[in-house]
Amino acid sequence: MKKYVKDLTVKTVEYPHELYVLLKLTDTEPLPESFPGQFVEVKVEGSPQTFLRRPISINYVDRENNELWLLIKKVGEGTHQLAQLKVGDTLNLVFPLGNGFSPVRKQGEKVLLVGGGVGVAPLLDYGKYLKEHGAQPVFLLGARSKSDLLEQNLFKAVAPVYVTTEDGSEGEKGFVTQHTLLNKEKFDRISVCGPKPMMVSVARYAKATNTPCEVSLENMMACGLGACLCCVEKTVKGNVCVCKDGPVFDINDLTWEV
Amino acid sequence: MKNPVMTASGTFGYGVEFADFVNLEDIGGVIVKGTTLLPREGNDYPRMVETASGMLNCVGLQNKGVDYFCEHIYPEIKDIRTNMIVNVSGSSPEDYAECAARVNELANIPAIELNISCPNVKQGGMAFGVTTEGAAAVVKAVREVYKKPLIVKLSPNVTSIADIALAVQDAGADAVSLINTLMGMVIDIEKRKPVLSIATGGMSGPAVKPVAVRCVWQVAKAVDIPVVGLGGIMTAHDAIEFLLAGASAIEIGTANFIDPAVTVKVANGINEWLDQHGCKSVSEIVGQLNA
């Protein structure tokens, strides 16, 4: 898929949570083709401490309105600076990068999409893709508390949503792998994006139930293009770049102890 | 060379990774990822940390070895019409020479850049580049088997970079390139641990540029062979500083991570500056410093 460097325009800015900003970007020409699970590298202006671009997953692509959505968690100085953007500002992106999640493997397949924290972001785009291409996505989303659940209405508009919160304020209390859904239903495969401990425990569940499972990693990156070899993950094929060979990996290709 | 802009090894892959952003044939040269005789897995993650106006890396020469390069990568890049130069590294004069000898057989590789300055490997690398004897030994061994232009990449982590440059010139180098990265360290104060997996790493980016310009200036005054300047070049303005300091050509490294199309912009910017200053070619400004 061809990659571009482009200045996109900030069309809307939303603050769904004190720690998050949702930027909806647009362009005068149609946005390039991308696949769910791919990411962008954003240039952060006005932050002297932020030298490198910031890799951000594609939250959603609204073709009808020519919008690319980035759901960004404010972690360090760079992402805090991105949260200061205003409608009409421009943002320089290198995109689309990496390989996304798996394309539909068979009609009617039941795919469990498990997300936690800001890791829910790419699952919205992927869930919509799966539904439009004849698969049956189901979301299982985890958060600390009810107020930390993001884009719930958007997820619900795509597919059934099951929730766990650590404090029990919404859905079932506990972690995603403790949800009763996992005892009741069998899935053809699982895709996960979230904190590493969560992905490891979902990978364990997948192995135990013999369910194919892919995870989306977020190792620290520099170039995003497979040139600098900084973001490597150990795999059965040796060290590979998360940016170029990932960010989505089959758990059988990783060397995680699951 | 169609222009004085090349890409620094380890920052531009094999060129093809950037083909969506630039016409590779508009770049003066592409110096491909460091290649060693045997495959290397490199160092553990984390290999990179950002710092003010730059970054540190400790990749550790991850590559699939020279045989893989010759069989699988060379066929993909050999018809790109620019100078595709291979950066060669090793852990003994013998394996530097063996690796160079294999690259010597590749018709469309017009030169090699010998890396005696990688700070991120335990054996070899910078160990050779920090003494005049070590540097000369590697260059002599390679010179015997490598018949095409030989560029030697120098480390700034030395007392006198001009002395090292003179030693490699005497040993048969056709040109020198400098600087490789500056050895640095970043600490996570909460964990009380170094951020990088091997504690230290090589610093690059605009933060190192004044050090690089100084090194180029000192070396260009000392040697008779051409000097290739690199270290933190982000713009044409930066590149012209290196040319005035005595570099005949420049390499762009870390800037490729910020703007994958930067090489062509810098090449065009140099031409515009030359036009504005009534110069017909780059050679008119090389080393033309009023100092």
In CATH, what number is assigned to the domain containing residue A60? 2.40.30.10
Q: Are residues A208 and A229 in the same domain?
A: no
Q: Are residues A165 and A205 in the same domain?
A: yes
Q: Are residues A108 and A151 in the same domain?
A: yes
Q: Is A238 helix (H, G, I), strand (E, B) or coil?
A: strand
What's the pLDDT tens digit per position in B232-243?
A: 999 999 999 999
**pTM, rounded to two decimals:** 0.96
What domains can be seen in chain B, in order of their start residue?
A: 5-284 (3.20.20.70)
Q: In chain A, how many domains are there?
A: 3
Q: Are residues A93 and A112 in the same domain?
A: no
Predicted pLDDT at A86? 98
What's the pLDDT tens digit per position in A133-160?
A: 999 999 999 999 999 999 999 999 999 9
Predicted pLDDT at A109? 98
Evaluate if residue B127 carries a pLDDT over 90: no
Token pair belonging to B91: 């852990």
Predicted pLDDT at B120? 77
Q: Are residues A105 and A208 in the same domain?
A: yes
Q: Which residues of A touch B59 (CB under 8 A)?
A: 228-230
* Residue A28 CB burial class (10 angstroms; 0-12, 13-18, ≥19): exposed
Residue A145, domain CATH: 3.40.50.80
**Contact at CB, A51 and B260, closer than 8 angstroms:** no
Rounded mean pLDDT, B256-271:
98
Predicted pLDDT at A65? 98
Q: Which of A225, A243, A255 to mutate to test the interface with B (most CBs of B within 10 A)?
A: A225
Q: Determine contact, residues A22/A71, Cβ cutoff 8 Å.
A: yes
What's the pLDDT tens digit per position in A54-106?
A: 999 999 999 999 999 999 999 999 999 999 999 999 999 999 999 999 999 99
Q: Are residues A122 and A189 in the same domain?
A: yes
Search chain A and give the residue with CA nearest B205: A51
Search chain B and give the residue with CA nearest A3: B20
Q: Are residues A117 and A199 in the same domain?
A: yes
Complex ipTM value: 0.94
| Residues from B in contact with A at Cβ < 8 Å | 10-13, 17-18, 20-21, 33, 41-42, 45-55, 57, 59, 62, 205, 256-261
Evaluate if residue A194 carries a pLDDT over 90: yes
Q: Please tell me the distance in Å from A211's CA to the nearest CA on chain B.
A: 29
Predicted pLDDT at A48? 84
Q: Are residues A139 and A207 in the same domain?
A: yes
Catalytic residue among B58, B70, B99, B118: B118
Predicted pLDDT at B121? 81
Q: Is A213 helix (H, G, I), strand (E, B) or coil?
A: strand
Instruction: Give the range of the structural domain holding residue A248, as residue numbers without chain letter.
Output: 217-258
What's the pLDDT tens digit per position in B52-69?
A: 999 999 999 999 999 999
**Contact at CB, A53 and B62, closer than 8 angstroms:** no
Q: Are residues A56 and A76 in the same domain?
A: yes
Comparison of pLDDT for B209 and B119, the residue scoring more: B209
Of A204, A245, A189, residue with least CA distance to A221: A245
Query: Angle of helix B132-145 relative to helix B161-170, nearest 10 degrees?
Result: 30
Number of residues written out for chain A? 258
Q: Are residues A71 and A108 in the same domain?
A: no
Residue A223, domain CATH: 2.10.240.10
Q: Is A164 helix (H, G, I), strand (E, B) or coil?
A: strand
Among A69, A97, A125, residue at a domain's last position = A97
Distance between first and last Cα of chain A: 33
Q: Are residues A207 and A165 in the same domain?
A: yes
Among A66, A97, A128, residue at a domain's last position = A97
